[in-house]
Chains A and B, each alone.
Chain A
């Protein structure tokens, strides 16, 4: 994906609230305007690695390139209530601590396969906010991925104008 496409994607993700397109501000806060969540640059970078771990780049873009971390933040900020938002913030911090303890290093620095193994063991975290945070993160990551312009125009195509209906369409195989 070229840079222009990335910026366009980001605009779709962030609506009109984009603060900076492709680099982080020196203030250390998140790169989209948030109303209810308070997210540091550090936390946003962690979220970027998390969405990349959930949906990694292969021969097609992964979560980070599709800016799914910003989509997740946008949705949690706008579409969830205060309780979910608090859980998301608490759980994100608790996840950072738990993952550092288990991995012996920050999640962002661990190798990709160790991150995957860790996320498969998310239920092991004793702090229940970790599981709740991850459930929101994963659901919104998958939603953002499947509803991204990239996937909808290249991989699992969305038809705006089907122009047909067949109630007896043969199932392959």
Chain B
């Protein structure tokens, strides 16, 4: 093995993909299918579908603390513990706070999954397309820079990705949230459907739809070929799904890529920096630190995809220093690491509904319920703030048991005396944020991690307009709740820090001009064309949609471009 590693021929590939999460997995699959000899670098350990899901089939009583994290764990890992999905049964898929430190110049919860599959094992699986209005936004409203692409450029790639991933959704016919290649949607429940009708009746242009999600509601042959079968409504997704009922790199793209015979997966490989050759004006490879041995290795390729997750992609580019690029690869503009944005998730609103008590739910809904596409400032500017917000909406009835007693009375209440509450409705906001130069990341000049990689500074915060959007969310949701006859309406601030939305985007934004953006419309670094950025780092603006579907579409589209460019000699 040492001999193999020592041979430069064995360290040379057609393509290198840094990262094996949702977007890296797609790049790997596409390169492999197109016949390119491809190396996938993953800094964490391997996680093989099913085999490496140790908690996936455990009953609650088989978990030592019935799912709770321990006090010691909460003290040691406050950042990870603030993630809604971090529990006793999933904690092994999250980065622990002190294993991978970063410097919070402002409070920021950086939620990370360092393993094959990355955060695709852990995501909330909500998948909505961007619309024409989202891509037009920056140019129309005069913020960030103009996206050099429009909906029509990416629409066929949404189609392409959705067919393979499997997206459950209804064809709702909304221009604000284009329809896709859908499997049957998960229907709204009685109270959610009632709210849909009420909003349609009282509020023109507002819609409640079934949340669209990456679940196999009705698997097609392409999914069966991946070894995935129908979602079984467990809603234990973040443990890893033995059915492949939801999309992850582990259940889908990575094994598919490996099956082509063209793809080599190298776990425990920390990408340190991208190597650059001034003569050719091209990147030549990636400097890697073996996470276990700390040995330094160079791998070489004609094209490099950086899919390390938004902030780590920024980190790797910033750390790719050369005579030509002393401030980071492709960073003549000085904008690398800047204009990072995210989604504002700081608002919730709960209420109760006393109608339709003849119904409750049975089983579990993997989609989670309903979704309210953004309706604010879509066709024209209509408020004092730019852009808008989307929202999740759901309703359920809870089974309650009287636990006030002691003895046989208590036991009998616990076992038999359950009653169902009225409908408890809930919503949370997912608001667009405006990218600002001062929301940025950079490298510490001195401090390094255990692998000799500089620590990342993060300085990202909310701005005044975020609170204006939130105020609008509270007001409009309250109005919609009131019109539906909901009671006990309770707006709540959940005080979450930036980063806890896990939708950090930007830092290497896409644009027309190398002076104001890092990557072009094909996701190539303007100034180093054989390096492609197709994860969240390339995002120019955030819109309101959950972003992963868009990253996957970018990755597939960019590989298509790269392979054509390699064939034509352009690269």
**Docked complex Cα distance between A164 and B365 (Å):** 8
Distance A101 CA – B186 CA, assembled complex (angstroms): 60
Q: How far apart are the CA atoms of A53 and B411 in the complex, in Å? A: 10
Distance between A170 CB and nearest chain B CB, rounded to angstroms: 6
User: Are A171 and B357 neighbours in the complex by a CB distance under 8 Å?
Assistant: yes
Q: Is the CB of B57 within 8 A of A165?
A: no
- Contact, CB under 8 Å: A162 / B233: yes
Report A123-173 residues with CB < 8 Å from chain B CB: 138, 142-149, 151-152, 155-156, 158, 160-171
Across the interface, which residues of A come within 8 angstroms of B408, CB to CB?
A: 56, 58
Q: Contacts A58-B408, A162-B232, A163-B232 given: A79-B68 contact, CB under 8 Å?
A: yes
Q: How far is it, in angstroms, between the C-alpha of A51 and the C-alpha of B449 when the chains are bound?
A: 49
A120 to B363, CA, bound (A): 37
B363 touches A166 (CB 8 A): yes
In the assembled complex, B60 has its CB within 8 A of some CB on chain A = yes
| A83-121, CB < 8 A from B | 112, 116, 119-120
The reply to whether B61 and A164 contact each other, CB–CB distance below 8 Å, is: no
A58 with B411: CB separation less than 8 A: yes
Q: How large is the interface on A (under 10, 10 to 19, 20 to 34, 35 or more residues)?
A: 35 or more
B406 at the interface (CB under 8 A from A): yes
Number of A-B pairs, beta carbon distance below 8 Å = 118
Indicate if B414 sits at the interface (CB-CB under 8 A): yes
**Contact A165-B71, Cβ < 8 Å, known A58-B408, A158-B60:** no
Query: B189 contacts the other chain (Cβ, under 8 Å)?
Result: yes
Contact with A along B312-348 (1 / 0, CB 8 A): 0000000000000000000000000000000000000
Cβ-closest chain B residue relative to A167? B189
- Chain B residues with CB under 8 Å of A138's CB are 403, 406
The verdict on A39 contacting chain B, using a C-beta distance below 8 Å, is no
| A15 on interface, CB distance cutoff 8 Å | yes
Question: With a CB–CB cut-off of 8 A, which chain B residues contact A75?
Answer: 65-66, 68
Shortest beta-carbon distance from A138 to chain B in Å: 8
Answer yes or no: B234 CB below 8 A from chain A CBs.
yes
Once A78-B71, A149-B61 are accepted as A-B contacts, the answer to whether A166 and B361 lie under 8 Å apart by CB is yes
Say yes or no: A152 contacts B60, CB within 8 Å.
yes
* Inter-chain contact B71/A142, CB cutoff 8 Å: no
Distance of B16 from chain A, by nearest CB (Å):
40
Contact A155:B415 (CB < 8 A) given known A79-B71, A116-B406, A167-B193: yes
For B414, give its contact among A80, A81, A142 (CB under 8 Å).
A142
Q: What's the minimum C-beta distance from A84 to chain B, rounded to whole angstroms?
A: 9
A34 interface contact, C-beta 8 A: no
Query: Bound complex: CA of A152 vs CA of B188, how far in Å?
Result: 28
- Assembled-state Cα–Cα distance A147/B415 (Å): 12
Whether A120 and B414, one on each chain, are in contact in the complex, defined by CB atoms closer than 8 angstroms, is no
**CB <8 Å contact, A78 and B406:** no
B61 touches A152 (CB 8 A): yes
Residue B59 lies at the interface, judged by CB distance under 8 Å to chain A: yes
**CB closest chain-A residue, reference B406:** A119
Q: Which residues of A contact B59 (CB under 8 A)?
A: 149, 152, 158, 160
- Count chain A CB atoms within 10 A of each CB in B64, B187, B232, B420 and give the residue with the most: B64
B61 touches A12 (CB 8 A): yes
Q: Are B411 and A56 touching (Cβ within 8 A)? A: yes
Of chain A, the residue at the smallest CB distance from B66 is A147
A151 to B60, CA, bound (A): 11
Which residues of chain A are near B232, meaning CB under 8 Å?
A: 161-163
B359 adjacent to A55 (CB under 8 Å): no
Interface check B364, CB cutoff 8 A: yes
CA distance A164 to B65 in the complex (A): 28
| Residue A54 interfacial (CB < 8 Å) | yes
Cβ-based interface call for B70 (8 A): yes
A53 to B363, CA, bound (A): 34
Does A167 contact B361, Cβ atoms closer than 8 Å? yes
Q: Does B361 contact A169, Cβ atoms closer than 8 Å?
A: yes
User: Hey, which chain B residues are within 8 Å of A144, CB to CB?
Assistant: 66
Most buried by B among A119, A142, A149, A166: A166
* A142 CA to B66 CA, complexed, in Å: 12
Shortest C-beta distance, A87 to chain B (Å), equals 14
A15 touches B64 (CB 8 A): yes
What are the 10 A-B residue pairs with the smallest beta carbon separation, nearest first? A167-B189, A169-B362, A15-B64, A164-B363, A165-B363, A116-B407, A162-B363, A166-B362, A149-B61, A119-B406
Interfacial residues, chain B to chain A (CB-CB below 8 A):
57, 59-62, 64-66, 68-72, 186-190, 192-193, 232-234, 236, 357-366, 403, 405-408, 410-411, 414-415, 420
List 5 additional A-B contacts (Cβ < 8 Å) besides A152-B60, A165-B233.
A138-B403, A149-B59, A168-B359, A169-B359, A171-B359
7 pairs, CB–CB < 8 Å, chain A vs chain B: A54-B407, A54-B410, A78-B70, A119-B407, A162-B232, A167-B192, A169-B359
Which of A's residues lie within 8 Å of B, judged by CB?
A: 12, 15, 53-56, 58, 60, 62, 74-75, 78-81, 112, 116, 119-120, 138, 142-149, 151-152, 155-156, 158, 160-171
